[in-house]
Amino acid sequence: MTTAATGRTATSGEAGPAGADPAEASPDPAPPRPAGPQLPYHLPTGLGTRLKDGVRRVGSRSYWTTPRLVRGLTALSLATLLGLGATATAVLGGARDGTDTIGHRAAPQATRAADLYFALSDMDAQAANLLLVGADPDLAAIRKTSLDTYEQRRAQADNDLQQAAQAAAGDPGEQQAVQRVLGRLGNYEALVARAQLLEEQAKAPAGRPSEDALAAYRQATDLLRQQLLPAADQVTAGNENAVNHVYTQQRAALSSGWWQLAAVGVLALAALVALQRALAVRYRRVVNPALAAVTLLTGIVLAIGLHLVSRADDNLVTAKSNAYDSVIALSRARAIAFDMNADESRYLTDPARAAAYEQSYLDKTQAIVRLDGATIVGYNSQLAAAVTKHHADRSVPFGGHLGTELRNITFPGEQDAAERVLTAFQAYQQDDRKIRDLRNAGNLKEAVTLNTGLAPGQSNYDFDQLSKALGDTIDVNSRAMDQAVADTDSGLDTTTAGLAAGALVVALALTALGVRPRLREYR
């Protein structure tokens, strides 16, 4: 027994001497586990296995019986159709909101602020003219015209300020700027009234106001130039920034929205085609009329939606880039021109500040038509050369606000209107040179008469032609901007939204009607 056991032990290949304890020959046992509750070393594999099996089963062809396939494709079709409607609503709604912000709020506010700058500038120009003509009986008609224009511009400024205050209710910075203009305008008007009263009492000759009247006017014009006009310009700049910000955001949203709408629409069409094919193959039918109608209707809705987004983008570019940019450049040019015209009168009215007013005039001239390196004496010759080159090759060899406009000609009649601005500007600059030459030659009354005269060839007449040409060019662009905004409003109005919603409801109904009879065959 022992020998046999020993032999079995030997032949089994166990190590160690015969008769050794088998426990000593076994591998080292695992270390004892600590007492207490134990966590499993591995998560249970049952859940993972079931998930894998489920995925494998759903991915197999045997799982997709006809009812399951039809129900799945129907659910996908309905989901993508709903997604198409939601995407179209979001994209087109955003387009309308953006255009509404630019066309109905920010852009009108910016042009109104520029109009305020223009009204304030012309008020001061007329105040300077009143001192300039004095009590000279030969210039009585000019005095009356200046008084009437001053009152007209004052009413215009008051109206612009009231509207600007209402529009600035939600913007603290802009509201503060408007309040600053409102607070200072009364002081300015009081100083002008005092200057007029002192001038009437002094009965001074043309071009030689009394020292008291001139001192009061200096206070008034300094207040206007140092506080009122910068505050008005701040309002304009704030609205311009708002327009640019909304425009940039809206164009980006329309670009991404177009692709989102196209992607969802293509997915919806693909789902409908797949459903149509499944019904044709599984039920051996050539076409399902209801689903064919849904597919066609979805394609039409997608095409209309993409067209509306593209059209909204085109209208946005027209309204802002083509029209508004010109409107604001021309509005600024008009406002600066009136301040420039006031500098011309100030130059004659106040000899002690003549050099400063002359430089200010040149700076404003350069803001309208910039000619690099031009001086007050050589400006006209450089302008003549630039205009000749422009007429020869249609280039724009100058900068400034008018240069911006001539590089942005877009609409019918705009080129001719802008050319009239350039012609009138050149004529006005030639008048200014004559005025300065007369003054330098000691012919002050002749200079005053030329400066304030309303006959053809006189400065105020030619300036009026410049103002009208600027207004005509602004009107061309304003009408185009309004039309682009109106086109967007009409293209994205409630009728279009109603048609889109109706088409979506019909698509959902036809999808259900086209699938339900087939599924009933399996009940």
pLDDT at 382: 96
Distances (CA, A) of 381 to 386, 426, 429, 440: 9, 10, 10, 19
Under DSSP, is residue 389 helix (H, G, I), strand (E, B) or coil? helix
- 12-51, pLDDT tens digit by residue? 343 443 344 444 444 445 455 555 445 444 545 565 565 5
At 283, the pLDDT band (50, 70, 90 cuts) reads: low
What residues are paired with 399 via a beta bridge? 370
The whole-number average pLDDT for the span 48-63 is: 56
pLDDT at 44: 52
The answer, yes or no, to whether residue 443 has pLDDT greater than 90, is yes
pLDDT at 388: 96
- 171-230, pLDDT tens digit by residue? 677 677 777 788 788 899 999 999 989 988 888 888 888 999 999 999 999 999 898 888
Instruction: Report which of 167, 63, 110 is spatially closest to residue 327, judged by C-alpha positions.
Output: 110
Does 67 or 395 have the greater pLDDT score? 395
pLDDT at 3: 40
Give the predicted TM-score (pTM) of the model: 0.76
Contact 198, 134 (CB under 8 A): no
What residues are paired with 370 via a beta bridge? 399
- 88-97, pLDDT tens digit by residue? 888 888 777 7
The whole-number average pLDDT for the span 297-304 is: 85
At 286, the pLDDT band (50, 70, 90 cuts) reads: low
Lowest mean pLDDT among 62-76, 263-277, 383-397, 444-458: 62-76
Rounded Cα distance, 67 and 46, in Å: 30
Q: Exposed, middle or buried, 434 (CB in 10 Å: 0-12/13-18/19+)?
A: middle
Instruction: Report which of 342, 297, 264 is spatially closest to residue 501, judged by C-alpha positions.
Output: 297
Mean per-residue pLDDT over the chain, rounded = 81
SS (H, E, C) 318-383: HHHHHHHHHHHHHHHHHHHHHHHHHHHHHHHHCHHHHHHHHHHHHHHHHHHCECCCCCCCCHHHHH
At 9, the pLDDT band (50, 70, 90 cuts) reads: very low
pLDDT at 420: 97
pLDDT at 292: 82
The whole-number average pLDDT for the span 466-482 is: 94
pLDDT at 416: 97
Lowest mean pLDDT among 333-347, 412-426, 499-513: 499-513
Under DSSP, is residue 399 helix (H, G, I), strand (E, B) or coil? strand
Among 80-84, 183-187, 449-453, top mean pLDDT goes to 449-453
The answer, yes or no, to whether residue 351 has pLDDT greater than 50, is yes
Contact 404, 443 (CB under 8 A): no
Rounded Cα distance, 362 and 357, in Å: 9
% of residues, the chain, pLDDT over 70: 80
Rounded Cα distance, 200 and 498, in Å: 68
Q: How many residues does the chain have?
A: 523
- Rounded to the nearest angstrom, the gap between the alpha carbon of residue 484 and the centroid of all alpha carbons in its chain is 14
% of residues, the chain, pLDDT over 90: 37
